[in-house]
Amino acid sequence: MEILTLIAIFLGPIVAVQVSQYLERRRQKHAGKESVFKTLMRTRATVLNPSHIEALNMIDVEFYGKNKKDRAVVAAWKLYLDNLADYSTPDDVKYAKRKDLFLDLLYSMAHALNYDFDKEHIKNTSYIPQGYVDVENEQHLIRKGMLGILRGDIVVPIRVTTFEDSKKSD
């Protein structure tokens, strides 16, 4: 009995530390998955957001494992990534498929993290103000226009006026 007591006194703290470290690693792994999922949910209407792209690139790391749900997330990510890297398919076909693949990715992540979200919920519950959409579209048009000018594809019309001509129009 004394030997058992000595073993318990000696091994007890070691086992307690090991269990504590194991639980901390599990919490950190879950927190990493949660962070990626929440970032993608938060930025799902703004896919060019740098946080969105960083979260996508962390999926392989955070959902790495032998767990069936984690493997499903990585498989959905690979399908989505293949679509993102496909430059041979016409844009209209690629973009329609891209939305579905991204929805599948978010759904598999929600399922892996035990969120009770269906695909319709994920698809229809994001919000982006129209003003942001307008600004993004305008910036896109400005960039395209400037590139066209720099490449020589677009000509900038110039009208020469005199000082008196400008006074008349005021």
Residues 44 and 113 in one domain: yes
Q: Which pLDDT belongs to residue 169?
A: 60
Amino acid type, 161? T
**Does the pLDDT value for residue 165 go beyond 70?**
no
Residues 115 and 134 in one domain: no
| Residue 137, domain extent | 129-170
Burial letters 98-129, b for 16+ CB under 10 A, else e: beebbbbbbbbbbebbeeebeeeebbeeeeee
**Does the pLDDT value for residue 162 go beyond 80?**
no
Question: What is the pLDDT confidence band of residue 126, given thresholds at 50, 70 and 90?
Answer: confident
Distance CA 7, CA 1 (A): 10
Residues 115 and 139 in one domain: no
Share of the chain above pLDDT 70, in %: 96
Q: Which pLDDT belongs to residue 53?
A: 96
Residues 56 and 133 in one domain: no
Residues 140 and 59 in one domain: no
